[in-house]
Chains A and B, each alone.
Chain A
């Protein structure tokens, strides 16, 4: 158990819908990262937050957004969902600058029908 929690574990929805994935980092970690794992793209970095502020952006679509709240939990919002958004979405956390080892949550498996 990495100490990173993600909810829900599974999510099934329809095209065009919007969903919110939630992540709670390990106690004491200030950085949160979101990754997408799909069969065709592999594991891809989406976005990073550090202490509430966006720090880095990867291959995140404009239909996707994220935020980190004052209690350091983070949410990833996926809207106008398409079939190709079906994937495993991971959250990871790390302490912050100077201590960047990332610990991953169990993931949220999203299926768009």
Chain B
């Protein structure tokens, strides 16, 4: 079955880099996603990576995928207080016509000024 795990909390100082980690179990994942949820708000799509890629960079965000170890990470460079939120990784298994997402528990990132 699908099992996506994340550590629950991460604290960093403003200006430092943050690295949020995620492990998943289903090797047939097609896409892996990072979503951000601010307090009282919905889920904002940050970035995603196709399973045949190793890395994707988008401005301050870098996603690394180690398919052998089923490990996904999100690096946020120059972390700002506005980055404080819960970050969810999610995998899409890609069954024909049905691509529902399986989410991790979320990592609460706290940025200390």
Q: Knowing A56-B95, A100-B31, A104-B35 touch, does A2 contact B103 (C-beta < 8 A)?
A: no
Contact residues of B between 18 and 56, Cβ < 8 Å to A? 31, 33, 35, 41-45, 48
Instruction: Kindly list chain B residues whose C-beta atoms are within 8 Å of the C-beta of A105.
Output: 42
Instruction: Kindly list chain A residues whose C-beta atoms are within 8 Å of the C-beta of B99.
Output: 48, 94, 100, 102
Contact B97 A97 (CB under 8 A): yes
The residue on B at minimum CB distance from A102 is B101
Contact A104 B106 (CB under 8 A): no
Interface size class of B (residues with CB under 8 A): 20 to 34
Q: Knowing A56-B95, A104-B43, A106-B41 touch, does A42 contact B106 (C-beta < 8 A)?
A: yes
Listed residue (B41, B48, B99, B103) with the most chain A CB atoms within 10 angstroms of its CB: B99
Q: Knowing A42-B105, A43-B88, A100-B31 touch, does A90 contact B42 (C-beta < 8 A)?
A: yes
Per-residue contact bits, chain A 70-113, to B (CB 8 Å; 1 contact, 0 not): 00000000000000000000101010010011111111000000
Q: Knowing A42-B106, A101-B48, A104-B35 touch, does A58 contact B42 (C-beta < 8 A)?
A: no
Chain B residues in the interface with A (C-beta under 8 A): 31, 33, 35, 41-45, 48, 88, 90, 92, 94-95, 97-103, 105-106
Chain A residues in the interface with B (C-beta under 8 A): 2, 33, 35, 42-45, 48, 50, 55-56, 58, 90, 92, 94, 97, 100-107
